[in-house]
Amino acid sequence: MLLPRKLHLPPSGTETFFLWGPRQTGKSTLLRAAYPDAVWIDLLKAEEFRRYLSNPELLRQELPREGEMPFVVIDEVQKLPSLLDEVHWLHENRQVHFALCGSSARKVRRGHANMLGGRALRYEMFGLVSAELDGDFDLNRLLNHGYLPRIYLAGQPQRLLNAYTADYLKEEIAAEGLVRNLPVFAEFLNLAALSDTEPVNFSTIGRDCGVSSQTIKEYFQILEDTLLGRWLPSFRKRPKRRVAAAPKFYFADVGVVNVLAKRGALQPGSELYGKAFANWCFHELNAYNVYHEAFADMFYWRLAGGTEVDFIINDMQVAIEAKASKNITAGHLKGLRSLKADHPDVKRMLIVCFETKQRMTDDGIEILPAPLFAEKLWLGELF
């Protein structure tokens, strides 16, 4: 089943670009659909990898020297960073355009490989978003099984999720030599998943893993570099009261979180279901921001006492709380009202929830059912 994706790539042969994204988000499928006539180099194939590993100049020798230049897709480009020197030369001297696809920029960057000197655009792909699912949008399934297309659509998603997390350790971490102690990193993954959507305490996780807080910071950097998650910083401008400083970390796929944290089946109304719902809200906001090149800054806001708001867009343009509740009460509004007291310039306040109808409180807080939030977001009505 080929789902329409919201990421729009440039026409064939007009740009050279990198396309990054976690494994199995559908990057290769999108590229094959967008560029059916492209020359395709798949470095995941052992024989292809060996050929170019020994002789990267083959790329230059196998492409035409004159006439109409083909558009070239190199899949899993992070496996062979040395090939980027040839890409650079071909781009400059023969005007060949490339789509360079991969699941991790870490090896490319850390090895000081050629990133084409700013000549290549950068695109990023995420798991499925609500606007891509249309009639197949099932929020409960997304919260339990995640956003990866193959897993979301599978009849037995749990087995695939287990395999996905195992393959991440084996292929992304062990095979690329990103850490020396794989068992400790595996334990770190489990603990990091437990803190998904929460402020991160490096020292606490380090003590639990038996390593330094600096090592934990490096492990989180690996998660970020391999696109398995990203940070959400604390909003700390013009505070009237003491606010939290530690950033939150959001995994890119809540299904992976569920496996690593051993959550089992998530039930509506439970605390873990609420955390998964917050992850989904961030996923939708983040994907929209990147796909539409809105370039919005995103934060969370939290007082030292624990009162918080999940998402702040730009400088108080929009404040959003994610509450997996069917009945929003005054207690659910506490965070937004505290924020308004400290930042009266906040322009719009929303609670995304499981109520069935949209409404607005007397003090201007919008209560939005989750499907309506997603619809308004992708129509460009939120920011």
> pLDDT for 189-248, tens place per residue?
999 999 999 999 999 999 999 999 999 999 999 999 999 999 999 998 877 778 888 999
Query: Which residue, 89, 124, 159, sits at the end of a domain?
Result: 124
299 and 365 share a domain? yes
173 and 321 share one domain: yes
Residue type, 148: L
Measured distance CA(119)–CA(266) in Å, rounded:
45
Structural domain range at position 140? 130-378
Cα 174 to chain center, whole Å?
A: 22
- Are 259 and 294 contained in the same domain? yes
Q: Residue 234, SS3?
A: strand
Residue 35: its H or E element:
none
Same domain, 83 and 140: no
What is the percentage of the chain residues whose pLDDT exceeds 90? Answer: 83
**What are the start-end ranges of the E strands in the chain?**
17-20, 39-42, 71-75, 97-102, 121-124, 229-232, 248-251, 298-302, 308-313, 318-322, 349-353, 359-360, 365-369
Confidence of residue 112 (pLDDT cuts 50, 70, 90): very low
Structure-token pair, residue 118: 């700013």
Last residue of a domain, one of 124, 144, 170: 124
Residues 119 and 139 in one domain: no
Asked whether residue 258 falls in the same domain as residue 147, the answer is: yes
Q: Judge if 82 and 205 occupy the same domain.
A: no
91 in the same domain as 174:
no
- How far, CA to CA in Å, does 72 sit from each of 60, 100, 115? 12, 8, 17
Query: Length of the chain, please?
Result: 383
User: The pTM is what?
Assistant: 0.94
- Looking at the structure, do residues 320 and 205 belong to the same domain, yes or no? yes
Residue 199 lies in a domain: yes
For residue 261, give the amino acid letter: A
31 assigned to some structural domain:
yes
pLDDT in tens, 273-318: 999 999 999 999 999 999 999 999 999 999 988 899 999 999 999 9
DSSP designation for 78: G
Report residue 74: phi and psi, to 5°. Answer: -115, 110
**What is the pLDDT, as a whole number, of residue 117?**
64
* Residue 42 shares a structural domain with residue 177: no
**CA distance to 43, 51, 140, 157, per residue, from 265 (Å):** 37, 45, 10, 12
Predicted confidence (pLDDT) at residue 111 exceeds the cutoff of 70: no
Residue ending a domain, among 124, 149, 166, is 124
Average pLDDT, the chain: 93
In a domain, 8, yes or no: no
Check whether residue 102 and residue 159 sit in a common domain.
no
Q: What are 324-365's pLDDT values in tens digits?
A: 999 999 999 999 999 999 999 999 999 999 999 999 999 999
Domain count, the chain: 2
Do 245 and 339 fall within a single domain?
A: yes
Per the structure block, which two tokens stand in for 247?
């950033």
Give the CATH number for residue 69.
3.40.50.300
Q: Is 118 exposed, middle or buried (0-12, 13-18, 19+ CB in 10 A)?
A: exposed
Contact 99, 38 (CB under 8 A): yes
Look at residue 2 and tell me if it is in a domain: no
